Amino acid sequence: MQHDLSFTFTAALWLYPGKEAWHFVTVPKALSEEIKLFTSTNKTAWGSVRVAVQIGQSQWNTSLFPDKKSGCYFLPLKAAVRKKEKISTNDEVSIQLDVLI
């Protein structure tokens, strides 16, 4: 995969208010808008965007998911990463995000 768009940002980890207990970080609105423009020709069924992520020493590929209400993308953080990097709900997290095309 080719990395064509890279961002570094800090955001707080939050817990989705549903029974599945998914944890997310919200990609800032300005970055979300840039990602949306950059990926407008690569639409998926759910509007998700493939990305490579690095937090601390953890690196993995996942997808961003659009939120119509906020206009931002949500980045899911799986339990294994949260545990390895000692991240809890409401912690500020520094993220390196590469959009994959």
**CA 36: distance to chain centroid?**
13
CATH of the domain at 92: 2.40.30.100
Fill in the DSSP letter of residue 21.
Answer: -
Q: What is the pLDDT of residue 47?
A: 85
- Give pTM, 2 decimals: 0.89
pLDDT digits (tens, 9 = 90+) for 23-73: 999 999 999 999 998 887 776 667 899 999 999 999 999 999 999 999 999
Whole-angstrom CA distances from 93 to 11, 37, 90 are 5, 25, 9
Q: What is the pLDDT of residue 45?
A: 66
pLDDT digits (tens, 9 = 90+) for 72-86: 999 999 999 999 999
**Which among 66, 93, 69, 68 is positioned nearest to 82, based on CA atoms?**
93
Number of domains in the chain: 1
Write out the residue range of the structural domain in which residue 61 sits.
Answer: 3-100
